Amino acid sequence: MLTIVRLGDAVLRKQASLIPDIDRTIADLAAGMIEAMHAGRGIGLAGPQVAELKRIFVTHVEGDRARVFINPQIIRTSTEQEPREEGCLSIPGVYADVVRPSEISVQAWNERGRPFTLDADGILARVILHEYDHLNGVLFLDHLDEKKRLRLVRVYDKRQKAAQV
């Protein structure tokens, strides 16, 4: 099982690289990421979260199937935005409302090397934007004002310390 890295690990802050070939290794990575996402009861997981600095993420929101996005590009975002609660498998136990575009279009390749375009709204649009951020070293906390971000990081640190005792 792939290990999910936590807040504080430098890999979460790095830029992920384009995947030049969608081969068996990448298909296996995608399958492993889906497995780790399901095990963590998450709805999305990005390469940097499993210490793979590659432009790949997976999603599985309720009512949808598991999806793989390789070398994704957000090609459209609605001007309409909405707040929605987010969490992250790399920052367990921390949740906050984040404002993001309500609807998006994304272009990517799947694990079989097929290109696709997807229009998404609601929770799927949300998770795609959240995971896409991970490929650029951005965490959902970065979208909050500084005061709220620092407060949540303190809560997280305290909880992590308590868990280690």
- Binding interface with Ni ion (CB under 5 A): 88
Instruction: Please report how close the Cβ of residue 81 comes to Ni ion at its closest, in angstroms.
Output: 19
Sheet with strand 67-77: strands edge to edge: 44-46, 56-59, 67-77, 103-109, 115-121
Question: Which residue, judged by CB position, is nearest to Ni ion in the bound state?
Answer: 88
Alpha-carbon distance of 38 to 53, in angstroms, equals 21
Question: Which of residues 112 and 128 has its CB atom nearest to Ni ion in the complex?
Answer: 128
Phi, psi of 141 (to 5 degrees): -60, -30
**Any catalytic annotation for residue 131?**
yes
Instruction: Please report how close the Cβ of residue 89 comes to Ni ion at its closest, in angstroms.
Output: 6
| Among 52, 86, 111, 131, the one annotated catalytic | 131
| Residue corresponding to tokens 């070398």 | 71
Instruction: Please report how close the Cβ of residue 165 comes to Ni ion at its closest, in angstroms.
Output: 26
Question: Which of residues 101 and 137 has its CB atom nearest to Ni ion in the complex?
Answer: 137
> Which of the 8 DSSP states describes residue 2?
P
| Contact present, 22 and 70 (Cβ < 8 Å) | yes
Question: Which of residues 61 and 88 has its CB atom nearest to Ni ion in the complex?
Answer: 88
- The catalytic residues are 131
